[in-house]
Structure 1
């Protein structure tokens, strides 16, 4: 059987240009680090860790009411009807804190440390760094505390006022808080092995990506919550929230990857300019 003829030269040149383009390099790098697989792991561990922790903390603050459910609805960008479904699912029972056992708290702690380890491994794959040694596990504790503190800050953010400046101020504060969190979180989990200036583009890309994900969620996930709640009940809402968390994980790792490529491109251009001078 004769081998198939080679593709024409114009197709080979086009394929080479696409592979060497920024989009092609990002696609290849994301496939090599198994970006979607890591995003799904991020969603699973995040759902097991963050939701129970925040529900318990909200139960310890009776004044917060449906604070976590309200923030989750705002993060996804749901409509009023879908917001009610989210609040029914993630409403804070008054007896949640009293009924929590020591074994339950220990399980949350284990899942939390595993979540921090998974995020650290993802960042290490982005920067092609070796796995950190076991004695750096304290960084997972710091990361988890920082993450819970940041989410609680978002949960307890007052609802925007009716005028135009209220929602705009809340959005700006959320963007600044998100940027600072991911900038600091990368530095903590990577153990200072990457400079602050190199981590800056990744924090910016992640923040903008989450903003874009919110717009996408308003168009896709918000209608799905309402329709899935009618079709599957509360389990349908869980599926949509879990899918949204997969998108968050994709943006978190993908934003860090885009930041690394942007940093390396900037360094390459600067070295090229120095050689020409």
Structure 2
């Protein structure tokens, strides 16, 4: 009689593990995980954070200083987006110059350079969306879309910072949250269609815009609970560099939400199309083409 090695699994156990693995891999969660690995979601989110901090933040500092409605400066914008406490807000403000200083010391050439660098941020977001939908890189003559995207982003931020923050009452908090979600949904719905050059239908992009808006609201709540205390504690431990680390971590989270929301939207769209086709035309259909 042949003895089974102590490290080997019985055939029945191995078969059950294999069936479980196949079931998980075939599920929506498994498919989403595999696609996130294929498009290197975390690495793209880290690139999103680094590029945003280097190219987009300097431009927004100048735009915030020129905003006559708020006059608060970019530090106030960032603090409102993070939902930080008063102590953490003070640490964020120490990283940036007073609102009037950035505008007074910026030349026309410097502003033009900031705008050009800001366009590279739109190009990075476009590339991420193209990876989500498995689309080829757009041609060079579509670069005007980056200009429009940057203008829409600045306009959306101006609307965001000039709307009331979360109120102390429950109705005020709910109303502000609903307004934020609706505004974020409209922006990312239009942004996806714009950056993808119309290669994906509006209806296919709808679930991704909804998912991104909800995820950003969740990230904002998470920031109030986690990032706000971290800013205050890291500022004591590491100084201003600790605040920068927290802000970079938050930007990585924003990148995950932006690309991950679009990826979830594609999965939802494909599942809806598959179910509709199974009910009507093709019972053995494996999945739709991107954006169809």
Conserved 8 A contact 1:182-1:206: yes
Structure 2 partner of 1:192:
198
- Residues in 1 aligned to 2:202 and 2:129: alpha-carbon distance in whole angstroms: 14
Range with greater deviation from structure 2 (111-120 or 195-204): 111-120
How many residue pairs are counted as aligned between the two chains?
275
Gaps of 5+ in 1: none
Change (3 A) 1:41 1:269: same
Structure 1 partner of 2:145:
139
The two structures have a TM-score, normalised by structure 2, of: 0.87
Tell me which of 42, 45, 54 is aligned to 2:48. 42
Conserved 8 A contact 2:32-2:263: yes
The two structures have a TM-score, normalised by structure 1, of: 0.92
What CA deviation, in whole Å up to 9, does each residue of 1:174-215 have, x standing for no partner?
111100000000000001110000000000010111111122
Tell me which of 137, 140, 150 is aligned to 2:156. 150
Structure with more relative contact order (C-alpha pairs < 8 Å, separation 6 or more) = 1
Structure 2 partner of 1:109:
115
Structure 2 partner of 1:180:
186
Conserved 8 A contact 1:50-1:148: no
Conserved 8 A contact 2:177-2:217: no
Secondary structure of 1:97's counterpart equals helix
Range with greater deviation from structure 2 (222-231 or 92-101): 92-101
Q: Structure 2 matches for 1:1-277, cutoff 5 A?
A: 8-61=14-67, 64-66=70-72, 68-90=74-96, 92-159=98-165, 163-275=169-281
Conserved 8 A contact 1:66-1:87: no
What CA deviation, in whole Å up to 9, does each residue of 1:206-241 have, x standing for no partner?
011111112222232111100111112222111111
Secondary structure of 1:94's counterpart equals helix
- Residues in 2 aligned to 1:142 and 1:62: alpha-carbon distance in whole angstroms: 22
Deviation at 1:91, TM superposition (A): 5.4
- Residues in 2 aligned to 1:208 and 1:160: alpha-carbon distance in whole angstroms: 16
Larger Rg: 2
Deviation at 1:171, TM superposition (A): 1.7
Conserved 8 A contact 2:212-2:257: yes
Conserved 8 A contact 1:54-1:152: no
Conserved 8 A contact 2:61-2:73: no
Secondary structure of 2:199's counterpart equals coil
Deviation at 1:160, TM superposition (A): 5.3
Structure 1 partner of 2:290:
none
Conserved 8 A contact 1:56-1:97: yes
Deviation at 1:161, TM superposition (A): 5.4
Conserved 8 A contact 2:166-2:177: no
Deviation at 1:47, TM superposition (A): 1.5
